[in-house]
Amino acid sequence: MKITKIDLHIIEMKLKTPFVTSLGKVTNRRGIIVEIHDETRATGLGEAVAFSTPWYTEETVETCFHIIKDVLAPLVLNRSFEHPEELFDRMKTVRKNPMAKASIDMAVWDLYAKLLGQPLHKLIGGTRENVLAGVVIGAHSIREMLQQIERARQDGYNRVKIKIGPGKDEKWIRVIQESYPDMDILADANSSYTQNEELLLKLDDLGLQMIEQPLSQDDLVDHAALQKKMKTPICLDESITSLHAAKSAILLNSCKMINIKIGRVGGLTEAIRIHNLCQEHGIQVWCGGMLEFGVSRAHNVALATLPGFSIPGDISSSSRYWEEDITSTDIIVKDGTIFPFKGVGIGVELNRERLKQVRIHHEIIYK
Ligand SMILES: O=C(O)CCC(=O)c1ccccc1C(=O)O
Ligand SMILES: [Mg+2]
């Protein structure tokens, strides 16, 4: 594969319902769709999943745009690659910026699978016939949360993750448990209990399936101390930025589960490596979400066909967040599962009409 051209499409769409977390609220979602072309005019699609502001991790849409255009594109344009795994090493000279790197890595994986005429999930060794879906609720009030859970139940989801924080936790969880005693519940704290650990211990008897990222991103040691005190499994999200971080977390016993996000770890190559490492160490994994558009969503579905993804992830229908997505085919959840696409690559193409409606900037990069 020789990469000859990269299209960057910055798009913006309004979420059907604002997404509220301990760190901020997302109402309008911006993102970058990356379209990579090779010398045979084949294309591959990726997505930079950073937000407009650095509330979740350090990157933003603008930093990704700059890094892709001015730093990563010159490293990959007019270069030949035998295999998408080579992209990871090629981009290694650039520190961090995983979401920018992942958007290129994803697009090259899609391109490669298309050139081989295979679905991406088959190419990476996916074995699951259906992917386990789950919904995330980030609401302002208990009432709003219950309304959203009710809607999710009607749409066939059996597992709910709620966003919690100090003062928005025990009561919220108990109310859900009373209303839906048979439902799996997990709680995502997005680091909001840093230096407030005693509040977390109060949640330990609620029988949560897991608690996600209770403490800060860099606190692997504190998470290990906390996991010793809690029977509820800790799942790490923000802390796991690479294979190396995953190794450290496992060595330190900082968690029992890991939420894998392709963007957060710098691409599909690294995501697969983390999955394999966790398999070796008996650490459960599931696929995280980024309120993303159809391109990243389709990559998530492919990733989540790997054998280790044995519990539902934050993968929901395109229609959960969007009136109309930018891809040709929607991701659809039925009875809590998603069937991977049968087409080559990630199995979806861009809906050019829709893309034009929501695009706020377009740039074409050649060497
Ligand atoms: O894509 C989704 O369904 C939401 C997943 C989610 O909780 C999330 C969304 C945006 C940023 C961070 C997180 C998170 O997992 O912490
Ligand atoms: Mg999270």
Q: Quick one: 112 and 127 in the same domain?
A: no
Please report the pLDDT score of residue 34 as a whole number.
Answer: 98
Residue 203 lies in a domain: yes
Q: Which ligand is nearest to the CA of 293?
A: 1
Q: Quick one: 267 and 152 in the same domain?
A: yes
Residue 80 lies in a domain: yes
Instruction: Report the C-alpha gap between 255 and 233 in whole angstroms.
Output: 7
Q: Quick one: 81 and 113 in the same domain?
A: yes
Whether residue 280 has pLDDT greater than 90 = yes
Please report the pLDDT score of residue 152 as a whole number.
Answer: 93
Q: What is the CATH number of the domain that holds 361?
A: 3.30.390.10
Q: Quick one: 204 and 318 in the same domain?
A: yes
Instruction: Report the C-alpha gap between 164 and 154 in whole angstroms.
Output: 23
Q: Which ligand is nearest to the CA of 291?
A: 1
pLDDT band at 192 (very low <50, low <70, confident <90, very high): very high
Residue 85 lies in a domain: yes
Whether residue 23 has pLDDT greater than 90 = no
Q: Quick one: 326 and 360 in the same domain?
A: no
Q: Quick one: 104 and 127 in the same domain?
A: no
**What amino acid is encoded at 18 in this protein?**
P
Q: Quick one: 42 and 145 in the same domain?
A: no
Please report the pLDDT score of residue 266 as a whole number.
Answer: 98
Residue 106 lies in a domain: yes
CA-to-CA dists, residue 63 to 59, 60, 176, 209, 328, angstroms: 6, 5, 39, 35, 28
Please report the pLDDT score of residue 367 as a whole number.
Answer: 82
pLDDT band at 207 (very low <50, low <70, confident <90, very high): very high
HSE, side-chain direction, 13 A CA sphere, residue 294: 23
Ligand 1, atom 10: nearest CA belongs to which residue?
A: 290
- Taking all residues of the chain, what is their mean pLDDT, rounded to a whole number? 96
Q: Cα of 137 to ligand 1 centre, how many Å? A: 9
Q: Quick one: 174 and 250 in the same domain?
A: yes
Q: Cα of 285 to ligand 1 centre, how many Å? A: 15
Mapped onto helix, strand or coil, the DSSP state of residue 25 is: strand
Q: Cα of 73 to ligand 1 centre, how many Å? A: 28
Q: Cα of 138 to ligand 1 centre, how many Å? A: 9
Whether residue 317 has pLDDT greater than 90 = yes
Residue 297 lies in a domain: yes
**What amino acid is encoded at 134 in this protein?**
G
Q: Quick one: 305 and 355 in the same domain?
A: no
Domain residues for the domain of 310 are 122-338
Q: Of the residues 27, 136, 210, which should be mutated to test ligand 1's pocket, given the most ligand atoms within 8 Å of the CB? A: 136
Whether residue 11 has pLDDT greater than 90 = yes
**What amino acid is encoded at 189 in this protein?**
A
Mean pLDDT, residues 154-173 taken together: 94
The domain tally of the chain equals: 2
Closest atom, ligand 1, to C-alpha of 138: 7
Strand partners, 350: 327
Predicted structure pTM score: 0.97
Instruction: Report the C-alpha gap between 38 and 19 in whole angstroms.
Output: 37
Mean pLDDT, residues 252-275 taken together: 98
Residue 347 host element (H or E): none
Is the beta carbon of 219 within 6 A of some atom in ligand 1? no
Q: Is the separation of the CB atoms in 359 and 337 below 8 Å?
A: no
Please report the pLDDT score of residue 24 as a whole number.
Answer: 85
> Residue 79 is encoded by which pair of tokens?
């270069």
Is the beta carbon of 190 within 6 A of some atom in ligand 1? yes
Q: What is the CATH number of the domain that holds 136?
A: 3.20.20.120
Q: Is the separation of the CB atoms in 15 and 28 below 8 Å?
A: yes
Residue 257 lies in a domain: yes
Please report the pLDDT score of residue 31 as a whole number.
Answer: 98
Is the beta carbon of 288 within 6 A of some atom in ligand 1? yes
Q: Quick one: 98 and 172 in the same domain?
A: no
Can you tell me the ipTM of this complex?
Answer: 0.98
Q: Quick one: 109 and 171 in the same domain?
A: no
pLDDT tens-digit map of 30-50: 999 999 999 999 999 999 999
Whether residue 22 has pLDDT greater than 90 = no
Q: Quick one: 168 and 311 in the same domain?
A: yes
Catalytic residue positions, numbered? 163, 261
Residue 68 lies in a domain: yes
Nearest to 10 by CA among 364, 318, 264: 364
Q: Which ligand is nearest to the CA of 163?
A: 1
Residue 301 lies in a domain: yes
Mean pLDDT, residues 114-142 taken together: 96
Share of the chain above pLDDT 90, in %: 96
